[in-house]
Amino acid sequence: MTLPIQPNRFLSDLHSLRQFGAAGVGKGVQRRAFSEADLASRRWLMDQIENAGLTPHMDACGNIFGLADGVGPLIGSHTDSQPEGGWLDGALGVIAGLEIARAAKEAGRPVSVVSFQDEEGRFGALTGSSVWGGAMSLAEADALTDDSGDSFAAARAVLGKTGDDVDPARFSGFLEMHIEQGPSLDLSGEKIGVVTDIVGIRDMRITMTGQQNHAGTTPMALRRDAFQALSGFNVLLNDRLRNVVTPQTVWTIGHVTLHPNASSVVPGRVTFSMQWRDGDLDRLARMEAVIRDVLTTIAADCDVTVEPSEVLGIDPVPMDPALQKALAQAAEAEVPGKWRKMPSGALHDASNVAQVLPVAMLFVPSIGGVSHTFAEDTAEADLVTGLQVLARAATSLL
């Protein structure tokens, strides 16, 4: 049996979704969780789900499901974006899920679709699927705040009345198609990546407090400069991590708030994000120990106080072997010899869904290997190839 998927309808829906929060040059989007653009896109998606003959359902987090009658595969991802994102990160997996669920409905078969909320972590780490997968309670999620201090609870209040949690028992497994967001497939010319496992992630916010002072009259030796403390932390951390990490390990200080952020003032306070990722649970723990040790050293050397937040995290997750096999067989059928098995350095909702369902993922190439930027893009022919592989795999699971 092959499902009557319509690639042109799929591409048209992708371009329609791109209009919500369209920004920058090319196909960039700004669709932060619970932003106006995000809420408008969720209303649009609920309409598409209804028009497809599926039952639209939004839960308390703002996760949106298109529910089929009967137990079958769940296919999806997320539609929220980074502050500057691309048109495909997450959106590809949701619209591919919509197209396959719609075609399955036309063929009288049960496939459901989902768009998880706040995968891009405005409030934390993959918030919507963390709650749905049980890694976090709704109350814990509600207490999370974004970089400006707004809480998840306050943000989701705009949703008004929402539905109950959807029972994972409605689904036989979860498939997520995603852009690779890295260079491997683009460089090799292969068309599909069948994901073997997803790395783990740790996130914390750290505040260092020294003494705000006059930039002209405060001698260097007497300063308690928060920026110098962060700068010293970064240099010492890079040095100390060398004995712990591998070439695949990554760590990032991506968000920095300097106070009062004025050119004639010695900064008295800095708050920054500290994120690290690796496929090995033990190495993630050893990296945390190094981070805490370097913080203690810097506090003494720079005479600042340091306040690390609680650590948010998602552990490394292997993909389900049977679902991986279905994707690999579908890839070999559609693009023989032009696919590979590979790990994911990016986090995905599949990491959380794996706590309640068997999951697997497939990648399509990212042009130039870039993502989390307006410039993110993939050739439309490659998007359609991914859809065809995903549909073939989903059909084999029906």
Instruction: Please give the residue ranges that form the binding site for ligand HGY (CB under 6 A).
Output: 119-121, 346-347
- The DSSP secondary structure of 263-313, one letter per residue, reads TTEE--EEEEEEEEEES-HHHHHHHHHHHHHHHHHHHHHHT-EEEE-PPEE
Q: Which is nearer to ligand HGY, 117 or 172 (CB)?
A: 117
The Cα 67–Cα 110 span in angstroms is 8
- Nearest-approach distance from CB 266 to Mn ion, in angstroms: 36
What is the number of the residue whose Cβ is closest to ligand HGY? 346
The Cα 173–Cα 71 span in angstroms is 9
- Nearest-approach distance from CB 247 to ligand HGY, in angstroms: 18
How far, rounded to the nearest angstrom, does the alpha carbon of residue 288 sit from its chain's CA centroid? Answer: 21
Instruction: List phi, psi (to 5°) of 322.
Output: -65, -40
Q: Say which entry of ligand HGY, Mn ion, none residue 327 contacts (CB below 5 to 8 A, set by partner kind).
A: none
- Nearest-approach distance from CB 387 to ligand HGY, in angstroms: 21
- Nearest-approach distance from CB 216 to ligand HGY, in angstroms: 41
How far, rounded to the nearest angstrom, does the alpha carbon of residue 334 sit from its chain's CA centroid? Answer: 27
Q: Which is nearer to ligand HGY, 120 or 225 (CB)?
A: 120
CA dihedral 291, 241, 255, 269 (to 10 degrees): 50
Q: What SS3 state is found at 118?
A: coil
Tokens of 8: 């042109």
Q: Which stretch binds Mn ion (CB under 5 A): 60-68, 90-98, 204-212, 326-334?
A: 90-98
- Nearest-approach distance from CB 346 to Mn ion, in angstroms: 6
Q: Say which entry of ligand HGY, Mn ion, none residue 347 contacts (CB below 5 to 8 A, set by partner kind).
A: ligand HGY
Q: Tell whether residue 121 is a contact of Mn ion (CB under 5 A).
A: no
The Cα 209–Cα 272 span in angstroms is 12
Q: Which is nearer to Mn ion, 230 or 364 (CB)?
A: 364
For Mn ion, the binding residue among 72, 90, 268, 316 (CB under 5 A) is: 90
Contacts 24+ apart (CB under 8 A), 280-285: 280/200, 280/316, 281/200, 281/315, 281/316, 283/244, 283/245, 283/246, 283/249, 284/200, 284/202, 284/313, 284/315, 284/316
Q: Which is nearer to Mn ion, 24 or 308 (CB)?
A: 24
Q: Which stretch binds Mn ion (CB under 5 A): 5-13, 83-91, 273-281, 306-314?
A: 83-91
Q: Which is nearer to ligand HGY, 132 or 227 (CB)?
A: 132
The candidate with the shortest Cα–Cα distance to 298, out of 217, 240, 249, 250, is 240
Q: Which is nearer to Mn ion, 89 or 118 (CB)?
A: 89
Number of residues that bind Mn ion (CB under 5 A): 2
The one-character DSSP state at 358 is -
Mark residues 234-263: x for contact with Mn ion by CB under 5 A, - for none. Answer: ------------------------------
Q: Which is nearer to ligand HGY, 99 or 180 (CB)?
A: 180
Number of residues in the chain: 398
- Nearest-approach distance from CB 179 to Mn ion, in angstroms: 8
For Mn ion, the binding residue among 89, 142, 190, 376 (CB under 5 A) is: 89
Q: Which is nearer to Mn ion, 80 or 334 (CB)?
A: 80
Q: How many CB atoms lie within 10 A of CB 396?
A: 16
- Nearest-approach distance from CB 290 to ligand HGY, in angstroms: 21
- Nearest-approach distance from CB 61 to ligand HGY, in angstroms: 16
Q: What SS3 state is found at 325?
A: helix
Interface with Mn ion (CB under 5 A)? 89-90
